[in-house]
Amino acid sequence: MASSDFRLIKPITITDAKLTSSSVPEAVVAEYAAGTTYAAGDIRGITSGTAQDVYQSLQAANVGHAPASSSTWWKLLGRVYAAYSSSVTYALGAVVTDLVNHLLYESIIASNTGKALNDTSGWSPLGATNRRKMFDKAVNSQTLAPDSVTVVVTPGELYNTLTLLNVSGSSVVVGQADSGYTRTRSLVSHAALSWYDFYYTEPVWVGDLVLDDLPPYLNSPLTVTVNSPGSMAGIGGFFLGKSKFIGKTQWGLTAGVLSYSGSITDKFGNLTMVKRENAKKMNFEVAIPKGYEDEAYRYLRTVTDVELVAIASSDWAMTLSYGYLGQWEVPLAIDDKKASFEWRGLI
């Protein structure tokens, strides 16, 4: 397929059964004990209240090295929270996990006992667990972990395209088990207009990318790793699916943002900006092949008001988005008139 092909994807829902493994912890693990000898790869936690920091042993014969202060012996995998129990009394501000639905909740009262998590008089929802944030459809919330994030997904249905949005890291490595497919993509861009800019301006990290050449295997596990040595690696949106060709994206596409920020003015007229999230938006035209108009129209009607991934051009990260179709129309191509599309991204 060509880089200028306009494609839409209905993402596969990544259930517990389809998420084969993840390097990001979600549940509380066994506690670290100072006198115990740990092997390389052993995982232990340090608990404070309902929060637990989870560490992995980096070496064999690991004894007497406190995880929080021994980075050569232990690697921090992330923070998790105790599973909710109706028999436990929770303090104000305590955070618990709903492991069935992969959600976090914060206690908004002291001495919180027996109140169900959906009882808003006792609990406030905090969103998805760290492990599941990449699958929660909120692109601006990231699954985060030190140095790298690795997930293995076995979709159980055909897929040929992986779209990663709001990625933090220096590179992405993708491999498919059955086909032997492997790709490594750098996330560092340094597009400069002059030699001065090249040497004296900061490189930019590419936040969005698409791999649209995946072999269409049904049950082949797909391994995705985002590397960020020495800093936090993150994935905001992980979207896997089978793309549907609509037509050829034309030059003149415009991309921008829908800003949800605002401002507050006090009684003296001083203005303070209130920073909130923003979402992508696009307007563009597409050349639909002659004779394909009815098929394009039929498909577009079925996915109108449906959450989708849009790929307007795989060459431009700014044209990759998760959201929904706005206004669109399909002309008959006999007069070479182009189809016009409005796209609204979600935050």
Under the banding of pLDDT at 50, 70 and 90, the label for residue 333 is confident
The C-alpha atoms of residue 329 and residue 321 are separated, in whole angstroms, by 20
In this prediction, residue 191 carries a pLDDT of: 76
| pLDDT digits 0-9 by tens, 1-25 | 688 999 999 999 999 999 999 999 9
Query: Region 312-317: what's the mean pLDDT?
Result: 95
State which fold the 5-9+245-345 domain adopts: Elongation Factor Tu (Ef-tu); domain 3 (2.40.30)
Average pLDDT value for residue range 167-171: 96
Q: How confident is the model at residue 342 (pLDDT cuts 50, 70, 90)?
A: very high
Q: Which whole number is the average pLDDT over 290-297?
A: 95
Fold of 135-243: Jelly Rolls (2.60.120)
Two tokens, residue 100: 């069935």
Structure tokens of 59?
């070496």
CA distance 160 to 216: 5
pLDDT in tens, 27-56: 999 999 999 999 999 999 999 999 999 999
User: In terms of CATH architecture, what is 83-129?
Assistant: Ribbon (2.10)
pLDDT at 200: 81
The pLDDT score that the predictor gives to residue 52 is: 98
What pLDDT shows up at residue 14? 97
Rounded mean pLDDT of 293-305? 97
Report the distance separating Cα 276 and Cα 259, nearest Å: 8
pLDDT in tens, 73-98: 999 999 999 999 999 999 999 999 99
Joined tokens for residue 345: 């991204």
Q: In this structure, which long-range contacts are made by residues 87-95, counting pairs with CB atoms below 8 Å and at least 24 apart in sequence?
A: 87/113, 87/114, 88/113, 89/113, 90/50, 91/49, 94/49, 94/50, 95/50, 95/51, 95/126
pLDDT exceeds 80 at position 132 = yes
Contact of 176 with 159, CB cutoff 8 Å = no
Tens of pLDDT along 181-216? 999 999 988 777 887 887 788 777 889 999 999 999
